[in-house]
Amino acid sequence: GKWNADAQRKLQEAYAQSETAMNQYQQIRSDYRRLLNRRAESLMRTAGAPKEAKKVVSQLKKRLDREVEERETEAAMFN
C-alpha cells in the first residue's frame, strides 16, 4: 500500500544519501593522503633536512601506506 511505497522511497533516499556521503569521505581521504605524501616526499628531497627527520618521515610514510591498504581492504569487504 501507500505506507509501503513511502517506506521504500525513504529507504532509497537514505541509501542515496549514504552513498553520496561515502563518496565524499573517500574523496577527502584520497586528497588528504595525496597531500600528506606530497609533503613527505618534499621533505625527503630537502637537502638541509636532518637525517633523523628524513628517517622518521620515511617510517611514517610506510606506516601511512600500510594503514591505507588496511582501510581499503576493510572498505572492500563492506561494499
pLDDT tens digits for the chain (79 residues)?
A: 788 889 999 999 999 999 999 899 989 988 988 888 888 888 778 777 788 887 888 888 888 888 888 888 888 787 6
CB distance 36 to 64 below 8 Å? yes
pLDDT for position 68: 85
Cα separation, 37 vs 68, in Å, equals: 12
The residue ranges of DSSP E strands in the chain, in sequence order, are: none
Q: How far is CA 60 from the centre of its chain?
A: 16
Q: Whole-model pTM?
A: 0.56
Cα separation, 5 vs 38, in Å, equals: 49
CA neighbours within 13 Å on the CB side: how many for 16?
6
